[in-house]
Structure 1
Amino acid sequence: MAPSKIPIFFIGATGYLGGSILIRLLAHPRVNDFEITAIVRSQEKAAILQSKFRVKSVVGSTAELENLENLCANAHIVFSCAESDNVEAMQAILRGLKKRKENTGETPILIHTSGTGELTDDAKGLHTTDTIFDDMNADQIESLPPTAFHRNVDLPIVEADKEGYLRSYIVLPGTIYGIASNPLVSEGIQNPISSQIPDLIRAGLGRGQGGVVGKGVSQWPDVSIEDVSELYIVLLNAILETPDSAGHGREGYYFGENGEHTWYEICKEIAKTLHELGRGKSDEPTTFSTEELVKYFGSEWFGNYHGTNSRCRSNRARALGWKPIKTKADMLASIKPQVEYIIAKSGCLSVTA
């Protein structure tokens, strides 16, 4: 009798990061051992995923909690690559995986996407910090307050691992950059751009001048879309092949970074590009006013988010064999193509997953 396939449930297949992970999963050497199901909002995209990519697709959303719970109850591995702050959705995912454990006796796997926004402060672009988080240091991560960004979802996940009905792995990318290019993008299924840098580009276009929060001296980690997508595959391989090598639960945080930048460096490159393209008055970014933070980012808090510090080192991820290639220089070089892309799309493309 042929061995049964591994049921994988994928959340976020149409998103920038989720789609980039899914396309790598479909190219995995063991893809024939997987039975992949994805949840998508669009009937049209579901049909394309089914017919062209052989991904079983369910039309729905994470707001349909009972359906989400049932889908997770039928999966051995869940990739959660969207809505990192949706507590109700995560509670439904955890309930489903608990049922899976009770019904099969096997311990299911949850690979969840959080973010290094969890490490942020309130610097407003005015200062840097010497605090650097290490994903090998569980005590340091646990020192974060429960009110920190994303902790409302990450803490219940780790608690579920502690209770023993699943094994959890939380990936925390920094600033992800680059325009995704793959068959899912070509078919109109996947969003090809991120949010942080594009949000700053749109703000610069809106005000006719590249902007910066405060002085822009705060620091963040960066990672290319190609490198961070590969991290998920490296992690999956370790989970499947050498599970003892992949820390989980409180030892299961994996930062996605390959260097770091100041916000000024990004904002300077945006201002320079806008100026070159006749869309900015100067190649030097000017400070966003409080009114502009609200206007272009939706709130003063979220505007100032682009002036926070978030510093970390991905030692746990690298210990698994993750070898990111692209550096800050690649990140800065990616900005002009993103500006040109957003101008070509007239700023109408949604950046939400």
Structure 2
Amino acid sequence: MSVDKTPIFITGATGYIGGSVLERLLKHPSASTFDITALVRNEEKAKILESKFLVKVVRGSLQDLDKLEALAENAHVVFHTADADDEPAAKAILSGLRKRHATLGDLPILIHTSGTGLLTDDARGMYATETIYSDLNVEQLKAIPPTAFHRNVDLLIIEADTQGYARTHIIFPSTIYAIAEGSLFDAGVSNPHSIQIPYLIKAALARKQAGVVGKGKALWPDVHIHDVADLYITLFDSIVSNPDTTGHGWEGFYFGENGEHSWYQISRAIGDALVALGISKDPEPTSFTTEELIKYFGSEWMGNYSGSNSRCRADRGRAIGWKPKFTTEDMLKSIKPEVEAWIKKQQA
């Protein structure tokens, strides 16, 4: 007797987070019961996914709103891991889920990716805030202003749950670190590098000395790429096994963190790596000038992002069984290999 497979749609499969999540879905104990479809822009990567990993692929990007809507409508579970701030794409996915609910009576599941950038302030590296958010404190989460980073899309996701046509959950990774590993990365399908720390590394390599915003006193949480991917799967498994007790909507915030660092610590670790590799003589980071923030980060605002506070605790994820293994010490140890990887990229 054949069993219907669970239709799963994933965005961002060629990315850092999405590739890590897809890697785990393909190796999941229930993988044989999944019918996975990915939206992929790159033809070469699409062919590898189809031939080597037997993933269904639709060619397209987040700008193909009709495709997004149709793919979401055809899925019981959607993992949206690409571009937390693309509001038209989020609306297209939600429209598809609404149509699925109206047509089939199914209550589809959306696991959306946001980020703890939601919690940032304008510290510019000058101080550490004492405000710490818990993802179990719903009133605290509701009080975040609608102008906060990522908030416009997050509120759309929550509203879908409130309206009752989808069960929505949002994962908020913090500073994700380490070079991702797995078969999708070995095959060249998915990007193995994060964004935040490499931005600082590339700036340091260009100026031949580590840089920091202000005094680097602001604090952020951190999470290893493998741990954050495990959070997606822990949440997915909890939804499947315990749908009535797994938080969704306003109770569906899941922070991803397992430790906390100052921006100075990251910059100093980059400085130590530059000295060890003979690129710089002084490991002590110096403050970026306004001109450097614009030059290396695209704008003063984006540069100052690496001087903001974002403090939180992943209480909800741990409550459903998430057990992150890597610590802030591991994050700092991961920086030298990351520096070496970017030097290789520049030399290639």
TM-score normalised to structure 1 length: 0.97
Q: Which residue matches 2:46?
A: 46
Following superposition, the deviation at residue 245 of structure 1 comes to 2.3
RMSD of aligned Cα (Å): 0.9
Residues 203 and 296 of structure 1 are in contact (CA less than 8 Å); yes or no, is this contact kept in structure 2? yes
Identity among equivalent pairs (%): 58
Equivalent residue for 2:134?
134
1:171 matched to 2:155? The reply is no
CA distance in 1, matches of 2:292, 2:173: 27
Give 1:265's aligned residue: 265
Q: Determine the structure 2 residue equivalent to 1:111.
A: 111
Q: Give yes or no for contact 1:202–1:347 (8 Å, CA) kept in 2.
A: no
Q: Deviations over 1:134-192 (max 9, x none)?
A: 00011101101001000010001000100000000100011000001111111110100
State the distance in 1 between where 2:8 and 2:59 align.
16
* Runs of 4+ more than 6 Å apart: none
What displacement does 1:278 show? Answer: 1.9
| Aligned position for 2:227 | 227
> C-alpha distance in 1, partners of 2:44/2:268?
40
- 2:334 — aligned with what? 334
Q: How does 1:57-68 map to 2 (within 5 A)?
A: 57-68=57-68
Q: Distance in 1 between matches of 2:88 and 2:39?
A: 17
Moved more, 148-157 or 269-278: 269-278
1:324 to 2:298 alignment: no
Q: Decide whether aligned partners of structure 1 residues 347 and 199 sit closer, same or farther in structure 2, where only a CA change above 3 A counts.
A: farther
> C-alpha separation between the residues in 1 aligned to 2:103 and 2:297?
45
Matched position secondary structure for 1:254: strand
CA–CA distance in structure 2, aligned partners of residues 70 and 317 of structure 1: 30
Instruction: Give the aligned residue type for 1:100.
Output: R
Deviation at 1:244, TM superposition (A): 1.8
Give per-residue Cα distances to partners, 1:7-52, cap 9 Å, x unaligned. 0000000001110110001000111111000011111111110111
- The match for 2:291 is 291
| Inter-partner Cα distance in structure 2 for 1:82 and 1:142 | 24
The aligned amino acid for 1:292 is E
Residues of 1 paired with 2:347 and 2:131: CA distance? 36
Change in Cα spacing, 1:301 to 1:48, as seen in structure 2 (3 Å) is same
**d(CA) in 2 for partners of 1:61, 1:45:** 13
1:71–1:347 distance in 2 versus 1, CA, 3 Å: farther
Separation of aligned partners in 2, 1:242 and 1:151: 28
Establish whether residue 253 from structure 1 lines up as the match of residue 257 from structure 2: no
For 1:239, the aligned partner's letter is I
- Alpha-carbon deviation of 1:208? 1.2
Alignment partner of 1:243: what SS? coil
The Cα offsets for residues 250-305 of structure 1, whole Å up to 9 and x where unpaired, read as: 00000000010000000000011112212224110000000000000000000000
Give the letter aligned to residue 63 of structure 1.
Answer: Q
- Between the aligned partners of 1:204 and 1:179, the Cα distance in structure 2 is 19
CA distance in 1, matches of 2:245, 2:24: 22
Q: Does 1:216 align with 2:216?
A: yes
Are 1:245 and 1:320, in contact at CA under 8 Å, matched by a contact in 2? Answer: no
- Kindly state the Cα deviation for residue 3 of structure 1 after the two structures are TM-superposed: 2.3
Are positions 1:197 and 2:197 aligned together? yes
In structure 2, distance between residues paired with 1:187 and 1:32? 21
Q: How far off is 1:99 after superposition?
A: 0.5
In the TM superposition, what whole-angstrom CA distance separates every residue of 1:47-68 from its partner, at most 9, and x where no partner exists?
Answer: 1101111100111001011111
Alignment check: 8 A CA contact 1:208 1:279 kept? yes
Structure 1, residues 71-108: CA drift from partner, whole Å, max 9, x if none?
A: 11101100000100000100101001000101110100
Q: Is the 8 A contact 1:270 1:335 kept in 2?
A: yes
Q: CA deviation at 1:347?
A: 7.8
Which residue identity does 2:7 align to in structure 1?
P
Residue 338 of structure 2 is aligned to residue 344 of structure 1: no
Correspondence list, 1:71-150, <5 A: 71-150=71-150
CA distance in 1, matches of 2:18, 2:65: 20
In structure 2, what is the equivalent of residue 351 of structure 1?
Answer: none
